[in-house]
Every structure is written in C-alpha cells, then in structure tokens.
Structure 1
Amino acid sequence: MTGAVITIAIILIIAGGSTFGVVAYFRLQRHRADAVAMASYRKLAEDASAGHEALHRQLGALDDRLKSIETLLRSVG
C-alpha cells in the first residue's frame, strides 16, 4: 500500500514539474513575441515623431515664403 502511494506521489511530482516547465516555456515565448511587437511599435512611434518634425519644418518654411509673398504684394499694391 505505501509503495503504491509513494509511486503515485512521485508520478504526480514529475507530472507537475513537467506541466510547470511547459507552462513556463510558453509564457516565455509569449513574452518574447510581446517584446518584438513593442519594439516595432516603438520604431513606428519614432518614425511618426520624425515625420511630424519634418512636416513642422516644411510648414515653417512655407509660412516664411507666404509672409514674403504678402510683403511683396503689399509693396506692389
């Protein structure tokens, strides 16, 4: 009787350890996938920020040109 109980206990310990190992492995894989996705989102945000800065510079240049055109039109008229 005690031999059977010990055998069952050992089998349960091995099964629990194996289950824990498999769960930990898949949790690690999910974490790695999330890290890759976050890196791509970070790159996308950096690209968007750089695009906004470039657009802001272009709008500033356009504003300067528009002011010079208005000044020219006022001096002519």
Structure 2
Amino acid sequence: MTGAVITIAIILIIAGGSTLSVIAYFRLQRHRADAVAMASYRKLAEEASAGQEALRQELGAIEDRLKAIETLLRSVG
C-alpha cells in the first residue's frame, strides 16, 4: 500500500513540475511578445516626437515670415 502511495506521489510531483514548466515557458513567450510590441510602440512614439519637433520648427519659420509680411504691409499702408 505504501509503495502505491509513494508511486502516485512521485507521479504527481513529476506531472506538477512538468505543468509548471510548460506554464512558465508560455508566460515567457508572452512576455517576449509584449516586449517586442512595446519596443515598436516606443519607436513609433520617438518618430512622432521627432515629426512634431520638425513641425514646430516649420511653424516658427512660417510665423517669422508672417511677421515680416505684416511689417511690410504696415510700412506700405
């Protein structure tokens, strides 16, 4: 009787360890996929930030031109 209990306990320990290993593996794979997605989002955010900065510079140049045109129009009028 005790031999059967020991055998069942060993089988349960092995099955539990295998199950935990499989769960840990798939969690690791999910974490890796999330890390790749976050890296792509970070790259997209950096590109958006760079594009926004370029637009700010262009808007500043347009504002300077507009001020020059306003000054010219005031001097003519």
Q: Which runs of 5+ in 2 are unaligned?
A: none
Count of aligned pairs: 77
Q: Deviations over 1:52-73 (max 9, x none)?
A: 1000000000000000000111
Instruction: Tell me how large the CA RMSD over aligned residues is.
Output: 0.5
Structure 1 residue 38, shift from structure 2 partner: 0.5
Task: Give yes or no for the alignment of 1:46 onto 2:46.
Answer: yes
Q: Distance in 2 between matches of 1:2 and 1:48?
A: 68
Q: Distance in 2 between matches of 1:10 and 1:71?
A: 90
- 2:64 corresponds in structure 1 to 64
Read off the aligned partner of 2:18 and give its amino acid letter.
Answer: S
Read off the aligned partner of 1:8 and give its amino acid letter.
Answer: I
Read off the aligned partner of 2:56 and give its amino acid letter.
Answer: H
Structure 1 residue 49, shift from structure 2 partner: 0.5
- What TM-score does the superposition give when structure 1 sets the normalisation length? 0.98
Structure 1 residue 17, shift from structure 2 partner: 0.4
The runs of 4+ residues in structure 1 deviating greater than 2 Å are none
Q: Distance in 1 between matches of 2:67 and 2:2?
A: 96
Q: Distance in 2 between matches of 1:62 and 1:74?
A: 18
- 2:27 corresponds in structure 1 to 27
Q: Deviations over 1:1-43 (max 9, x none)?
A: 0110011001000000000000000000010011001101100
